[in-house]
A and B are shown apart, each in its own frame.
Chain A
Amino acid sequence: NAGVTQTPKFQVLKTGQSMTLQCAQDMNHEYMSWYRQDPGMGLRLIHYSVGAGITDQGEVPNGYNVSRSTTEDFPLRLLSAAPSQTSVYFCASRAIVGYIEQFFGPGTRLTVL
């Protein structure tokens, strides 16, 4: 099992550009989520999904879109990047019944100039 994979590992964008951060998991987990990590603020939930076709907002959803067309993939889209979106982004997945440990991807470090 590859677990949770994220691409790219690093990205630099200019203000106003758009891009998609990719996330995939091969554990057949129903729940997937995106977090951003900023100094002194821990992990803040952006969006999450409890299954294909179902998404919902977390604590800091503004400026981000998500979709979940398959169980495996949960891409995060930045439609018009802003410097305030400079952060490290983590994708995570977990089962929603049984053993509920959440697994994290390796992270994407995004800089918006």
Chain B
Amino acid sequence: ILNVEQSPQSLHVQEGDSTNFTCSFPSSNFYALHWYRWETAKSPEALFVMTLNGDEKKKGRISATLNTKEGYSYLYIKGSQPEDSATYLCAFTMDSSYKLIFGSGTRLLVRP
């Protein structure tokens, strides 16, 4: 059974704080790691897809890093804003498989 673990489960921060979350995944047979942003009552929206060890991706104040050898990825949000409040999901794909296996997410709440 493939396990994708995310931590923390939830996070409450003040506006302006920077924050980061962790996604752990099996390091063998790695193909891709996906990060999604998911707001209540909406469908998940892709943030990043990373495939190479050492990959770093950035979109505005959000960035992500990838370590496939040790099986983890970090998502960073710089200067959190209330509109960043959402659940952040990571998903893992093995090579020779097309399935995305999701973690249970990190729920972020940014207080004004």
Contact = CB atoms under 8 A, between A and B. Distances in A.
From B42, B43, B45, name the one whose CB has the most chain A CB atoms within 10 angstroms: B43
A19 interface: no
B43 A42 contact: no
Given A33-B99, A40-B104, A100 B44 contact: no
A95 to B, nearest CB: 10
A45 interface: yes
Interface of B: 32, 34, 42-46, 49, 89, 91, 93, 98-105
B98 A42 contact: no
Contact of A102 (B100, B104, B105): B100
Contacts, number: 49
Contacts of B45: 104
B46 A102 contact: yes
Given A41-B104, A106-B42, 6 more contacts: A31-B98, A40-B104, A42-B103, A45-B100, A90-B44, A96-B98
Given A100-B49, A101-B34, A43 B102 contact: yes
A64 interface: no
Given A33-B99, A90-B43, A42 B34 contact: no
Contact of A42 (B46, B99, B105): B105
